């Protein structure tokens, strides 16, 4: 396993990480989730991603049970705050009230005294950025959060809150967590990459396989038992368009030529970028975890010629998202 610095911070995270979204507390049972975390740790993964909204808090509970048997100081645990998790008008967003109540609830569910990374899960137009910056600064000084960051924020919003932190002597954000994959490129490549370079922000990207579409498993339809077949995943089925599948079929053929799987091609394509500190992957089986980990060795196969072929298949930013 290779480890990368989280932006310009001193923290090192595994370049491939394991996330809890959709699967933990929902798609897979508790024992499988715990087995996956332990196997990931044994393979060198130290970063495990979560959020308070995942499975209505159950994902944090499952992860808390799993990490209980692992050395806490060896782990980088993240969670997030923004979406509605409590009753009433203050049960969502990034107000001081909701953030303070949410971090305490997350720590209880995770069974830990602190989280390494705490993300503002979306931008909150109803809360002043200074309020957000000050509550995050307070959490760091209290030792409940080691690094804070954003998720799915625009580059200008990150730059603005970073400036507020510098103005008032507050601890600025260290990382941003955007969606980034072969079918969703523009925001990272055109907007966030310059911000990362200027401010020293690290990217922990999510959905490297575009909800499983880039694995090729939907090339001939939606298999029973797949994520897209679940009753509450109609939004994924809406994304499986003939145009996307045509591109994925070409990528599948390219991966076969290179002697790797389509999933490994997709993850390796992200790993080649220096702005990316870690690629957050998901898995429902140990075999999927092993396949994802093999992407690290596939990076060397992405020659300039191969990258040009990929661009011709999926299109450059602006053509596809």
**Tokens 């880039």 correspond to what residue?**
214
Residue 80 sits in a domain whose CATH number is: 3.20.20.100
Selecting among 41, 54, 180, 211, the annotated active-site residue is 54
Question: How far, in Å, CA of 23 to CA of 17, rounded?
Answer: 14
| Residues 124, 318: Cα–Cα separation, whole Å | 26
Residues of the chain with pLDDT under 50: 320-321
Is 223 among the domain residues? no
DSSP state letter for 86: S
Residue 304 lies in a domain: no
What pLDDT, on the 0 to 100 scale, is given for residue 239? Answer: 84
Q: Is 135 helix (H, G, I), strand (E, B) or coil?
A: helix
Residue 104: inside a domain, yes or no? yes
Interval 119-153: pLDDT, tens? 999 999 999 999 999 999 999 999 999 999 999 99
The alpha-helical segments, DSSP class H, found in 259-314 are 262-271, 286-293, 295-298, 304-314
Gap between the Cα atoms of 178 and 195, Å rounded: 13
pTM greater than 0.85: yes
Query: How far is CA 60 from each of CA 79, 111, 146, 173, 238, rounded to the nearest angstrom?
Result: 8, 9, 18, 23, 28
Please indicate whether residue 218 is annotated as part of the active site: no
- Kind plus residue range of the DSSP H or E element containing 320: none
Q: Count CB atoms within 10 A of the CB of residue 224.
A: 6
Answer whether residue 250 is part of any domain: no
Q: Render pLDDT for 173-202 as a digit per residue (tens, 0 to 9).
A: 999 999 999 999 999 999 999 999 999 999
Under a CB-based contact definition with an 8 Å cutoff, are residues 301 and 261 in contact?
Answer: no
Q: At 279, which helix (H) or strand (E)?
A: strand 276-281
Determine the pLDDT at residue 318.
Answer: 56
Degrees, nearest 5: CA angle 47-144-188: 45
At residue 84, φ and ψ (nearest 5 deg) are: -60, 120
Domain around 123: 3-212+266-299
* Strand, coil or helix: 127: coil
| Domain-located, residue 29 | yes
Within-domain flag for 312: no
pLDDT at 320: 47
- What residues does 4 pair with on adjacent strands? 13
Q: Is the residue at 224 inside a domain?
A: no
In a domain, 85, yes or no: yes
Chain position carrying tokens 């995770």: 110
Counting the structural domains of the chain, the total is 1
């Amino acid at each position: 396993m290779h480890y990368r610095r989280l932006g310009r911070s001193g923290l090192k995270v595994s370049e491939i990480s394991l996330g809890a979204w959709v699967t933990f507390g929902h798609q897979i049972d508790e024992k499988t989730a715990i087995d996956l975390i332990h196997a990931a740790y044994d393979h060198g993964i130290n970063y495990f991603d979560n959020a308070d909204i995942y499975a209505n808090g159950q994902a944090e509970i499952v992860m808390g049970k799993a990490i209980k048997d692992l050395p806490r100081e060896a782990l980088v645990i993240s969670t997030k705050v923004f979406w509605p998790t409590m009753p009433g008008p203050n049960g969502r967003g990034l107000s001081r009230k909701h953030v303070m109540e949410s971090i305490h609830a997350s720590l209880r569910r995770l069974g830990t005294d602190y989280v390494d990374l705490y993300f503002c899960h979306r931008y909150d137009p109803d809360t002043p950025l200074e309020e957000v910056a000050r509550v995050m600064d307070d959490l760091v000084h209290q030792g409940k959060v080691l690094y804070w960051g954003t998720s799915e924020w625009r580059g200008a919003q990150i730059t603005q809150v970073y400036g507020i932190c510098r103005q008032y002597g507050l601890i600025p954000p260290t990382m941003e967590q955007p969606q980034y994959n072969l079918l969703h490129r523009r925001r990272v490549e055109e907007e966030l990459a310059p911000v990362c370079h200027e401010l020293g922000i690290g990217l922990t990207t999510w959905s490297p396989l575009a909800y499983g579409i880039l694995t090729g498993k939907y090339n001939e339809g939606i298999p029973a038992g797949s994520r897209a077949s679940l009753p509450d995943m109609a939004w994924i089925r809406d994304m499986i368009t003939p145009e996307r599948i045509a591109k994925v079929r070409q990528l599948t053929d390219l991966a076969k030529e290179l002697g790797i799987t389509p999933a490994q091609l997709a993850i390796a394509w992200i790993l080649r970028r220096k702005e990316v500190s870690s690629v957050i992957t998901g898995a429902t089986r140990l075999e999927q975890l092993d396949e994802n980990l093999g992407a690290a060795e596939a990076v060397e196969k992405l020659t300039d010629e191969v990258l040009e072929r990929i661009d011709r298949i999926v299109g450059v930013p602006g053509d596809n998202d």
